Amino acid sequence: MKADYLFRNATVIDGSGYAEYIADVAIKGDRIIRIAPTITEEAETVIDCTNLVLSPGFIDVHTHDDLIVVKRPEYVEKTSQGVTSIIVGNCGISAVCAVLKDEVPDPINLLGELDEFHYPDLASYRDKIDSVTPSVNVATLIGHTTLRNNCVDSLLEPANAANVKQMQQVLRKALEQGALGLSTGLSYGNAINSSTEEICALAELLAEFQGIYTTHMRTEYDGIIDAMQEAFHVGRHAKVPVQISHHKCAGAKNWGRTVETLALIEKYQQNQDINCDLYPYRAGSSNLDLKQVTEDYDILITWSTPHPDMAGKKLQEIAADWAVDVHEAASRLVPAGAIYFQMHEDDVRRVLQHASSMIGSDGLPCDPNPHPRLWGTFPRVLGYYSRDEKLFPLTTAVHKMTGMSAKRFALQDRGLIKEGHFADLVVFDPNKVNEAGTFQNPKQKAEGIEHVFVNGVLTYSQKQMTGKRSGRFLSKNNNVDPK
């Protein structure tokens, strides 16, 4: 059987976390068909991978890309990093199941504009993804804030029993149609008044579907231990795995506390299934939140509706220009977006190195001046943190963005280089790979990503999109077939 592509003499880092080896790898159609020390059979195209790494395509487990992949299926921000699958619907906000009235509540507005929301159920979104064929595969969580939007009278109040019942119905249908699980974004104003019982009542549905509970917790500041306890309680109550989203200790007072939070994770892991994800930067980004405004660390404004010309400037400088304090400046800027330098580098490294962490970008694709994580997360972990800073071997770095992630989110036959698995593959130069963007100039294709294959189709090569796309919707219970 003639292969479509033969990767010759590749350094295979297979995603399992085990040592690399040199081999030839053949793919045909959408699958890896053979791995051997030497393959002599013919192939349509031979790619010499001498001194290059062949790894599974990267899985971005934490994204807000729900609508951008529909609007702009040629998704260069992620494909150029070697990402081949994304998980959308994080932080309580999914476009799937959202039924909006005349405005997009915060922070659902991170996903897109009102006229882009057309997916009252998962099936309609799945059909759309399959018809636009994005450059990445897409799987989705269902957002708690999205469910609240549909079913409660006021987002500022806890849900009542009738609301909970209605939310359960919407969630159950989405799980039946292939959602991976439930996400919450409890620190946001439109979810912060929801009760733990309300979340437990929704999470209860997940076990039957082997779904996952992911959470942007109630706080990542002073009260983080209580917030973690709440997340673990939900997991134990519902008997489901817990994923702490973008784990961090935010605020100068809390720098260094990942020693405490990681110890707590380890303690609870003795009795339940807990993991976390993170992006590899000491700055976070979201809508400008007046509660997070402080003089303690830099805040970079990424956009502002009343003052668009302030995008790219530091809040402190804007405040000085206007001769007001940072709180007053922030209140004049909203609605706005911000990058907060709210973490300590030591904490970022500690979480990155922990055996429980995997990589998710949390990139914000609609932001005109996005945090560089949108374009650089995966190459930065491979190049800066693994190769240059030697935080962990390259095999560990790849594992945290492939095999570990696919297993965690039940992406069947992906995340490993293995015969029979999907040919989601990246060829990269281990000596060159790195992000190219900066906070000042974030929209840059990474260095060292040579070729990216999605379901066997060459999607990105030599810093260019090839124009061919092959991304599919990945359903929880039936993600082998495209439909």
Residues that bind Zn ion (CB under 5 A): 91, 216
Smallest separation, CB 260 to Zn ion (Å): 21
Smallest separation, CB 106 to Zn ion (Å): 13
Nearer to Zn ion, 91 or 301 (CB): 91
Nearer to Zn ion, 128 or 216 (CB): 216
Smallest separation, CB 248 to Zn ion (Å): 10
DSSP code at position 362: -
How big is the chain by its Cα radius of gyration, in Å?
Answer: 22
Smallest separation, CB 441 to Zn ion (Å): 25
Q: Please give the Cα distance from 34 to 32 (Å, whole number).
A: 6
Nearer to Zn ion, 216 or 350 (CB): 216
The helix or strand, by DSSP H or E, that contains position 451, with its residue range, turns out to be strand 449-454
- Could you tell me the CA-to-CA distances from 358 to 241, 252, 275, 380, 404 in Å, in that order? 14, 24, 8, 14, 7
Q: Please give the Cα distance from 9 to 14 (Å, whole number).
A: 14
Q: Which residue type does 70 have?
A: V
Nearer to Zn ion, 17 or 284 (CB): 284
Q: Please give the Cα distance from 320 to 164 (Å, whole number).
A: 47
Ramachandran region, residue 311 (left: φ > 0; alpha: ψ -120 to 50; beta: rest): beta
Nearer to Zn ion, 139 or 416 (CB): 139
Q: How are beta strands 43-48 and 3-12 bridged, if at all?
A: parallel
Smallest separation, CB 462 to Zn ion (Å): 34
Smallest separation, CB 362 to Zn ion (Å): 6
Nearer to Zn ion, 87 or 449 (CB): 87
Nearer to Zn ion, 91 or 111 (CB): 91
**What contacts 9, CB < 8 A, 6 or more positions away?**
22, 24, 48, 49, 50
Are the beta carbons of 109 and 95 closer than 8 angstroms?
no
Smallest separation, CB 126 to Zn ion (Å): 24
